[in-house]
Amino acid sequence: MDKASNDAEGVKFYNRDEKKGVWMRYSQMLLPTRKETPAEAEVISHRLMFRAGLIRKVAAGIYTYLPLGLRTIRKVEAIVREEMNAAGAQEVLMPMVQPADLWVESGRWEFYGKELLRLKDRNNRDYCLGPTHEEVITDLVRREIRSYRDLPLNLYQIQGKFRDEVRPRFGVMRAREFIMKDAYSFDRDDASAEVSYQAMYKAYTRIFERCGLRFKAVEADSGSIGGSHSHEFMVLAETGEDVILSCNRCTYAANTEKAVSLLPETGEPHKGGAVVPTMEKVYTPGKKRVRDVADFLKVEEKRLIKTLLFETDQGFVAGLIRGDLELNPIKLKNLLGVNFIVMASDEEVKRLTKADVGFAGPIGLPIPVIADPSVMSLHDAVCGANETDYHLIHVKPERDFEVSQVADIRQARAGEICSRCGKGTLESFRGIEVGHVFKLGTKYSEAMGATFLDETGKERFIIMGCYGIGIERTVAAAIEQSHDEDGIVFHESIAPFSIEIVPVQMKDERVVGFSNKLYGALTQKGLEVLLDDREVRPGVKFKDADLIGIPLRAVVGRKFKEEGLVEIKSRETGKVEEVLADEVVEILESKVSHD
Ligand code: ATP
Ligand code: MG
């Protein structure tokens, strides 16, 4: 033990007593706090992570983590690692640079789109920076796994990803380079895969609880990763990019990309089986929008059929939805099993309908038509005539037109009735997706030939699952949820330090001497302590302490000199306790819970 280092004028920056790190004296640490915020910082977590000296931008969506930021990231990683290990997963480390061949095999080289950053080596071979690792891990497993005896298996890593996001923003929350924990499970059958999925679901719940987050696990769309079934872990925050619908009576909760609700009533007058008059074409000059057509024809919007045209990688398709409702293109995309879907351009709409935009209808369209059930339950409806300035009235689905498929492609909305319990109302929340668990089935094992031999010697495809957590996004989401006007309020489990010691008068030998002693004693106990030994005004120290948000602050100042008392302040509650200098180590130690 290097005793000298705890003395007032002792070794300043290399201290072997400081068991858990060596840069804990503020004066020696790169901890540049700022008053101003970058112009592009739209959300509070981005502003605070910059101001508190956690991150600095290198390029759009690419950041350097300064010591304080890295310590927090390491805390989250440690929690993730512990829970993954506890759930039986084994850590590996895969490369960031991945050969294109594997992506060609899985079929994603063509379809992943521009988020995949592609590069060539000196021999002109294609590579990409890994946005995710299904290909690399499936390649590993197909080589190493032979028999059912080798299964189940769960492998994970905590590693840098690159996604060339269209719109990197919100600091590290939607970055281009970021750290992900990604895990992959391999099972022999669906029952075993379900057990693996549930184990990850539970581990995620533990992880986000330990990080001190308020979150909800919701049913989700599977996106470009593919697969059949998934849950997202959403941190509830106003600034979240995702919208969640959740039932106020039962446990149902889903991303709006996926959510379903009971079909809102049409209120269409019940005609008691009355015969719907023959379909008729009417002149509706310049009436293109649902509301204008409804007003002009004096019918309710819910009696209209909206016809929306989309372009996909497998051609054009039309979607039908009732006039007062919205079509959900992600549901349509999943239904069709296509890789991309966009609204058809005005030119394409004109070409396909032979009419101006605004007059499309299902009758006579030369492309597949998918109808939402809301449309098929109409009796006497209005739709576009595929002729400029004309609509059709008295349209009866099935009698007057057929569709390729009827399926739920409706966007569920807040206020609608829950389809699971049939009683509750859906409420909407905004959320930040911090984790995602997927059942992949055999998507990758079939594409890449990852098989095992079962008990009977039969070769079968491995059932896979994959599970991601955004490490920095978790930190940012935590700050989004826990801050005040003065700065970050770190939850103890992910705080870069547990305790900050603030000696107020740096010229006073007793204050400085005691602060150093306290610092030495606490670090020797294995606690993570930041000592603000800078020669600056107390106001500056207090402001910075509030900004960086260390959970406990021990102030050694006037009270110490006059009465031998140290002030312990909680960053979260603002509560101050005055304790005897002799007892401060013990009291602080007891306050830092050992999670
Ligand atoms: P999003 O819909 O937000 O783009 P995703 O569905 O593409 O996310 P996944 O592929 O499921 O994300 O990745 C797993 C986790 O990685 C996400 O839950 C999220 O926490 C994190 N993540 C994804 N994209 C980013 C990003 N651009 N920056 C930071 N973290 C990210
Ligand atoms: Mg994404």
Q: Where are the alpha helices (DSSP H) in 272-429?
A: 290-297, 329-336, 346-353, 373-376
521-541 pLDDT, tens digit each: 999 888 999 999 999 999 999
> Per-residue confidence at 226, pLDDT binned at 50, 70, 90?
low
In percent, how much of the chain has pLDDT > 70?
Answer: 93
Residue 359, CA distances (Å) to 134, 389, 442 in order: 44, 7, 43
pLDDT score for 221: 77
* pLDDT score of 2: 41
Other beta carbons within 10 angstroms of residue 590's beta carbon come to 8
Closest Cα to atom 21 of ligand 1: 470
210: nearest Cα among 241, 233, 238: 233
Residues in contact with 302: Cβ distance below 8 Å, sequence separation at least 6, in sequence order: 266, 267, 268, 322, 323, 324, 325
Q: Ligand 1 within 6 A of 235 CB?
A: no
Tell me what pLDDT residue 550 has: 97
The pLDDT tens digits of the residues spanning 319-367 come to 999 999 999 999 999 899 888 899 999 999 999 999 999 999 999 999 9
Ligand 1 pocket member 483 (CB < 6 A): no
Q: Please say if the pLDDT value at position 5 is more than 80.
A: no
Judged against a pLDDT cut of 70, whether residue 23 lies above it is answered with no
pLDDT single digits (tens) 183-215: 999 999 999 999 999 999 999 999 999 999 999
For residue 181 and ligand 1, the question of a CB distance below 6 A is answered with no
Give me the pLDDT at residue 594, please. 55
* φ and ψ of 30, to 5 deg: -80, 95
pLDDT at 393 over 60: yes
pLDDT band of 223, cuts 50, 70, 90: low
Q: Which pLDDT does position 8 carry in this prediction?
A: 45
pLDDT at res. 224: 55
**pLDDT tens per residue, range 409-443:** 999 999 999 999 999 999 999 999 999 999 999 99
pLDDT above 70: residue 243 = yes
For the Cβ of 279 lying below 6 angstroms from any atom of ligand 1, the answer is no
Reply yes or no on whether the pLDDT at 4 is more than 50: no
Using CA positions, which residue lies closest to atom 18 of ligand 1? 435
Rounded Cα distance between 416 and 254, Å, is 13
Model pLDDT, residue 11: 42
Residue 268 has pLDDT above 90, yes or no: no
d(CA 590, CA 172): 34
How many angstroms does the Cα of residue 292 sit away from the middle of ligand 1?
Answer: 40
pLDDT at 9: 47
What end-to-end distance do the CA atoms of the chain give, in Å?
Answer: 27
**Mean pLDDT across the stretch 297-302?**
94
Q: Look at residue 274 in the predicted model and tell me its pLDDT.
A: 72
- Phi then psi for 263, rounded to 5 degrees? -65, 120
Give me the mean pLDDT over the 269-290 stretch. Answer: 84
Nearest Cα to Cα of residue 333 among 360, 310, 367: 310
Ligand found nearest the CA of 115: 2
Whether the per-residue pLDDT at 272 is higher than 90: the answer is no
Q: What is the pLDDT of residue 373?
A: 95
pTM: 0.89
The pLDDT of residue 14 is 47
Q: How far is the CA of 575 from the centre of ligand 2 (A)?
A: 41
Q: Please give the backbone phi and psi of residue 488, each rounded to the nearest 5 degrees, phi first.
A: -75, 145
Instruction: Tell me which residue has its CA closest to atom 25 in ligand 1.
Output: 174
pLDDT one-digit tens code per residue, 45-71 = 999 999 999 999 999 999 999 999 999
Span 74-130, pLDDT tens digits: 999 999 999 999 999 999 999 999 999 999 999 999 888 899 999 999 999 999 999
Instruction: Say if residue 21's pLDDT is above 50.
Output: no
Q: How many CA atoms lie within 13 A of 479 on its CB side?
A: 34
Return the axis-axis angle of helices 471-481 and 67-86, rounded to nearest 10°.
110
Q: Which of 503, 555, 498 has its CA nearest to residue 530?
A: 498
Q: Is the pLDDT of residue 571 over 60?
A: yes
Does 468 sit in the ligand 1 pocket, CB within 6 Å?
yes
Ligand 1 close to Cβ of residue 473 (< 6 A): yes
Q: Say what percent of the chain tops pLDDT 90.
A: 88
Say if ligand 1 is within 6 A of residue 436 CB: yes
Give the pLDDT of residue 281: 96
471-480 residue pLDDT tens: 999 999 999 9
